[in-house]
Amino acid sequence: MNTLADFTFVSGLLFAVGIYGLIVKRNALRMLFAVEIMINAANLNFIAFDRFLWSNSTLPQAALGQTFVLFSIALAAAEAAVVLAIIVVAYRLHKNVDVSELKTLGG
């Protein structure tokens, strides 16, 4: 049987990979990948702690953790849609999706 430590280890590893991508990559699409990976690491952590510390409760609120992750997934999908639209607009204006080349927003 897997313990809570196994799941937190996977989640921490995923989060570290996401941080690496966010620091190293300058392509807007790759940065979006990194953000999605980090959001998923957080969701996995949330479900793991919910399963081990809360979901055997007899209260009607025992499903609260899973419900929150459902909301989080929906919000992440909305965020991805907006970011992808911004990337399409940036490409149309600059013919590039490298964030170090997009200086219009820099002021």
Please report, as residue ranges, which positions from 35 to 54 form the binding site for another protein (by CB under 8 A): 36-37, 40, 43-44, 47-48, 50-53
**Residue 93 engages another protein in binding (rule: CB under 8 A):** no
CB of 106 to another protein, least distance (A): 19
Dist. CA 13–CA 66, nearest whole Å: 22
CA distance 85 to 23: 22
Residue in the block written with tokens 């909301």:
71
Angle subtended by helix axes 4-24 and 28-53, to nearest 10:
160
- Max Cα–Cα distance, the chain, nearest Å: 57
Residues 69-88 that bind another protein (CB under 8 A): 69-71, 73-82, 84-88
The minimum distance between CB 43 and another protein, in angstroms, equals 7
Q: Which is nearer to another protein, 58 or 106 (CB)?
A: 58
Tokens of 32: 């979006």
Binders of another protein among 1-20, rule CB under 8 A? 1-10, 12-20
- For residue 98, give the 3-state DSSP assignment: strand
Q: Which is nearer to another protein, 58 or 104 (CB)?
A: 58
